[in-house]
Structure 1
Amino acid sequence: MNAHEKPQAINAGALYAMDKKVYPQAVSGRFRRIKWAFMAVALGLYYLLPFVRWSRGVGAPDQAVLVDIPHRRFYFFFIELWPQEVYYFTGLLILAAFTLFLLNAVAGRVWCGYMCPQTVWTDLLFAIERWVEGDRRERMRKDKEKLTLKRVWELAAKHSLWLLVAWWTGGAWVLYFYDAPTLVRELVTFQAGPTAYIWIGILTLTTYSLAGHMREQVCVYMCPWPRIQAALTDEWALNVTYRGDRGEPRVSAKKAVALRLQGKPAGDCIDCRQCIAVCPTGVDIRQGSQLGCIQCGLCIDACDHVMREIGRPTGLIAYDNDLNAARRKQGLPDVYKLVRPRTVLYVALIVLVGGIMTYALVNKKFTGVNVLHDRNPLAVQMSDGSTRNGYSVRLLNKYGDARRFRLHVEGLEGARLQIAGEPAADRPEITVEPDQTLELRLLITAPADVAPLEARDIVVVAEDEETGVFARAKDHFFPR
């Protein structure tokens, strides 16, 4: 740097566009209807699912979806998971990741544009804002004018409705962790525990701030997915694309007609900027693929409407892949390839993981036994020459009623079993209460004539007397 040159200050506004407010305009069309449908389904499921009932028998909770932290259970309709079965949640996360990769391979950031919670709730708050304050031009005009009593009333109404939505969002989340009708009654009568109010407050604040105020900044600056998906996409992925080969050069509608009559080139884009006006992140799609584009397709609806108005073919902005722009310049037809190695691989992985989880659920056991050999001493020689080993045994009963188990040992003929505090027996019995684990001390004695001379593998078997189902656990029997 020259000694006489002054260092240039960094423009913070260029790095973080907090001073640039986006005013999305209302639009109608195919993709807007799809977004309304996704919003209705997503919000309907989220808000109403805690109130759906599912009978599980006497003494069991009847809420269809419930995270029962006090009893360490997760219920999802007919599925019941224990903390030991965390691998199911791992499988769900893997399935979600591969599904996201597949969506990206097919249509780029389609998850961001239609299904992401940030998009869904931001869309809802946008709709409230338009209903209270009016559409884009009205909101822009009102923000420039001085405050009036009417304007204060509009702002108060909007933010009150935003807070109401945010509060119910936080409240609905808490309902997944406690019986929903009971918790609603306790919340209304101020009898709920402080934890419920604290979490509702936290989630109310985050929903209100992220969906109501930060909006597109979350997608552009906070979310890591736009950075990640760029490494996962390819030239075949469908992305919202401005077809510059058809749209350029940009001229007004009247001038375009005149130029075409003269045989001169004229693009279909009339620079009406409607694609920018309707974009929830304020992106100009005509500048190409950008970090802020969430692939929602609203610019397609806006552009198609304009094309119909001026009598030009629709599809100037459309879901397209990177290959077709070059092909159109060469006069070649568009090509699309949905089935390709990348998508086949993702589908295969989804089917594989889903199949493994389904198999595990179908063959899930509701009883179990775990055995842990004593560390010291490993074995004790009794006065009659027999050898005794001690074990800690944990029996698991996932049923909603008490179960009686009969214990025996495989791999050590003539062994006698003794539960601490009870007489020895060939097949001692033990009762485990519903939804409980029971830990006991088990002594296994091998008579002198069959006591092994070296360590031997044995299997402790717990037989459910009602169902006849066996639970097994392998361990060792050590000689003295």
Structure 2
Amino acid sequence: MNKPVVPVDLRFDDDDGPLYVARKKVYPQSVSGTFRHIKWGLMAACLGLYYLLPFVRWNRGLGAPDQAVLIDFPNRRFYFFFIELWPQEIYYFTGLLILAAVALFLMNALGGRIWCGYLCPQTVWTDLFYAVERWTEGDRRERIKADMAPTTVNRLARRVLKHAIWLVIAWWTGGAWVLYFSDAPTLVKNFATFQAPTIAYVWIGILTTTTYLLAGHAREQVCVYMCPWPRIQAALTDEWALNVTYKYDRGEPRCSVKKAFDLRSLGETVGDCIDCNQCVAVCPTGIDIRDGAQLACIQCGLCIDACDTVMTKVGRPTRLIGYDNDINVQRRIAGQTEVFKPLRARTVVYAGVIATVCAVMLYALLTRSLLDLNVLHDRNPVAVRLSDGSIRNGYALRFLNKRGFDRVIAVDIDGPANAQIHIVGADSVTPDRPMIVLGRDSTTELRVLVTAPFDEKADKTVPVKFRVTDIGLGEVASAIDHFVLP
């Protein structure tokens, strides 16, 4: 008789378990220690920066926005304190993306998932939501006990309060993000009077919902199933990278405190781990670090604090769980000293790439021109023969004044012999050298006519160089096109 076929989406064969196990609710216990304090400090810094930065002011002169960090889509500008970027300077954002990626690689090479455990927005906001949950519903034991008991009025009131605070945090998170795209005080006032743009309310609703669901309900599932970084970093790590590690050379074999005392009295070898499961109780993803490296471990270090607390109480050395690597575990087993290599080819290359990109971006920023010129030749007609036999070409010149004040510029050309230039609609025109006034922090587009005598011996296409010069500052910008003969 043939063996019954088990659906492939449930089992590989008769002996394997299900591919996907239904979520088991995690109840992280509060803990105090070095890494918990680091996480509190980074959370305060990150959230404070995110929520308050839109309200920081920066004086850029009369008529310019005074918000320190502003993404101004209507005017196509990005402001970051003294830096103002235009759409043509999108390459700076490319550089920032490269820096972010390589910085992640460097963090991973030095200390594993530092980003995931301390700086990731999912981790930061989930930590904040857990703090609210503990404040309203109690710590691990109280929450487990309450979930197993029948619902009471007190329990229901605590849950309502918890979700209400979660929604307020999520709402302000979405609201703070929108404030980066408009003047923050003005937009807050418009929100209060229900006069803000509809799109602002829509985005606040979207971000409020996603923050509430991801930080309040999905929690560790985002890290385990939704985030691609755990899969990527596993391919980028090496044997020298420090990760949160259970030092099994010290911890095994496990036994209770009393039994360990008796065995040590008899001269037996006993591990320091007393199998108290405190490392599991405090883990925000609910894993057991003693099982080795795991995809779900975000390496937040809370298990280190929990284990250190227990080791101190039982009179054993701390850091049974700590930042370590398997090489050092094997070296200790062999009786050798520990070796750490923060400086190695991988980290040096990553640091070098970061330094190079930063240097290139800084140089480009310090030497960039605040006066720019773009030229577009007329397409139809390309050239016109005038009644006196001369040839005229038309161009559209776009002038970019990136400074915060008006300036007068002169326009010159190098091209066909005896060519004359005329700017249509110029504020000030002289016979020999056209001059125009450019408004501050703006783009000005004008039509330019270049006329030159007809020369039968000349090439059909002659290069022409347009050059603009700031009369007051002496800044120069140029662009090259062609003068076409019919």
TM-score by length of 1: 0.95
Q: How does 1:77-476 map to 2 (within 5 A)?
A: 77-420=81-424, 425-448=431-454, 452-453=458-459, 455-476=461-482
Q: Unaligned 5+ residue runs, structure 1?
A: none
Q: Contact conserved, 1:413 with 1:450, CA < 8 A, in 2?
A: no
Query: Any idea what SS the aligned residue of 2:322 has?
Result: strand
Correspondences of 1:42-57 after superposition (within 5 Å): 42-57=46-61
Match of 2:30 in 1: 26
| Residues 155-203 of structure 1, C-alpha deviations (whole Å, 9 max, x = no match) | 0010001111111101111111111111111111212121111111111
CA contact (8 A) 1:226 1:291 kept: yes
For residue 34 of structure 1, what is the amino acid of its counterpart? I
Distance verdict in 2 for CA 1:245–1:360, change over 3 Å: same
Q: In 2, distance between residues paired with 1:450 and 1:348?
A: 58
Structure 2 vs 1, CA of residues 210 and 312 (structure 1 numbering), >3 Å: closer, same or farther?
same
Listed one character per residue, the Cα deviations across residues 395-440 of structure 1 (whole Å, up to 9, x for unaligned) are 1122333332211112445321012467894321222323322222
For the 8 Å contact 1:387–1:451, the answer to whether it is kept is: no
Between the aligned partners of 1:34 and 1:413, the Cα distance in structure 2 is 71
The match for 2:6 is 7
Amino acid at match of 2:398: R
Q: Provide, for residues 103-129 of structure 1, a one-character-per-residue CA deviation record: whole Å limited to 9, x for no partner.
A: 011011110000000000000010010
Instruction: Using the TM superposition, give the Cα deviation of residue 380 of structure 1 relative to its aligned residue in structure 2, in angstroms.
Output: 3.9
TM-score, with structure 2 as normaliser: 0.94
Distance apart, 1:259 and its partner CA:
1.5
- Pairwise CA distance, 1:9: 7.9
Q: Bigger CA drift: 449-458 or 138-147?
A: 449-458
Q: 1:62 maps to which residue?
A: 66
Q: 1:342 to 1:4 in 2, by over 3 A?
A: closer
CA RMSD of aligned residues (A): 2.0
* Segment of structure 1 superposing worse, 412-421 or 121-130: 412-421
Aligned to 1:74: 78
| Deviation at residue 451 of structure 1 after TM alignment | 8.0
Q: Distance in 2 between matches of 1:314 and 1:451?
A: 90
**What is the distance in 2 between the residues matched to 1:288 and 1:273?**
15
After superposition, give the CA deviation of every residue in 1:452-478 in whole Å (9 maximum; x if it has no partner): 435333310111223221110012233
Pair 128,466 (structure 1): closer, same or farther in 2 beyond 3 Å: same
Q: Where does residue 484 of structure 2 map in the other structure?
A: 478
Deviations 1:196-227 (A, max 9, x none): 11111111110100000000000000000000
Q: Which residue number in structure 2 is paired with residue 37 of structure 1?
A: 41
Task: Quote how far apart the aligned CAs of 1:378 are.
Answer: 4.1
Q: In 2 relative to 1, CA 477–331 (structure 1 residues): closer, same or farther, beyond 3 Å?
A: same
Q: CA deviation at 1:392?
A: 1.9
Quick one: which amino acid aligns to residue 460 of structure 1?
F
Residue type of the alignment partner of 1:5: P
Q: Which moved more, 1:392-401 or 1:303-312?
A: 392-401
Count residues with an aligned counterpart: 479
Cα distance in 1 for partners of 2:279, 2:41 equals 22
Distance 2:430 2:380 in 1: 22
Aligned 8 A contact 2:425 2:446 in 1: no
Question: Which runs of 5 or more residues in structure 2 are unaligned?
Answer: 12-16
Alpha-carbon distance between aligned partners in 2 of 1:171 and 1:267, rounded to the nearest angstrom: 52
The question of whether the paired residues in 2 share the 8 Å contact of 1:384 and 1:448 is answered with no
SS at match of 1:231: helix
* Residues 225-234 or 190-199, more deviating: 190-199
SS at 2:64 equivalent: coil
What is the percentage of aligned positions where both structures have the same residue? 61
Partner SS state of residue 478, structure 2: strand
Q: Which amino acid aligns with 1:73?
A: R
